[in-house]
Amino acid sequence: MDFLLNLDRQIFFALNALHTPWLDLVMYWISDTLIWLPLYAFLLYKIFVILPRKQAITAALSVAVALTISDQLSSKVIRPRVERLRPTWNEEISAQVHTVNDYIGGHYGFPSSHAANTFCAAVIVILLLRKPWTRWMLAWALLVSYSRIYLGVHYPGDILAGALLGSACAWGTYVAYQKLANNSPRRVGDN
């Protein structure tokens, strides 16, 4: 375990050191949830354009359920039990961590909720819509996740755990969505 924690710390410092003044502001905004509201609105719009109305409503609710599960598991269930300090709160290394705008986050960071939620959104949208362009959502999730390392508030292990957790929440919710869609009563004449 010590080997993995040391490796995680070394990778963190290598990635956190890749900063420039102009990129500081960019990464700060990429990490902000509000800047992505237009993307969320666009995805919701696409769900209602691509899928039939009843299916779109169930799909939109599935996205909301998956994100709620992902967010609550990462921030309210796992973090308080694991209690892994963020790099910015770890007294051994905090002075060496590059931060932006004095942003240090809350005390604990395992797993990353940003990673969990963005990967959850990306995976469930890919599964629901099955369109080639949706695969770009994974690049978005990676970018947001990297911004958390860049800002100094997460180790790569936090990101990896969050990405796996969010993807699992998306997959589980999608399986439930599929069962719901396949077991819904059909009217005469429905295909």
10-residue averages of pLDDT along the chain (191 residues): 91 94 94 94 96 94 97 97 96 94 94 98 97 96 97 97 98 94 54 42
d(CA 164, CA 170): 10
Q: Which residues pair with 108 in a beta bridge?
A: 85
State in Å, rounded, how far the first CA of the chain is from the last one. Answer: 54
Predicted pLDDT at 191 = 42
Predicted pLDDT at 180 = 83
Cα–Cα–Cα angle for 168, 171, 176, nearest 5°? 125
Predicted pLDDT at 187 = 42
Both tokens of 80, joined, read: 């308080």
The domains of the chain, with CATH numbers, are: 37-182 (1.20.144.10)
Q: What are phi and psi of 7, to 5 degrees?
A: -65, -45
Predicted pLDDT at 184 = 57
Predicted pLDDT at 183 = 64
Count Cα atoms within 13 angstroms, Cβ side, for 40.
Answer: 13
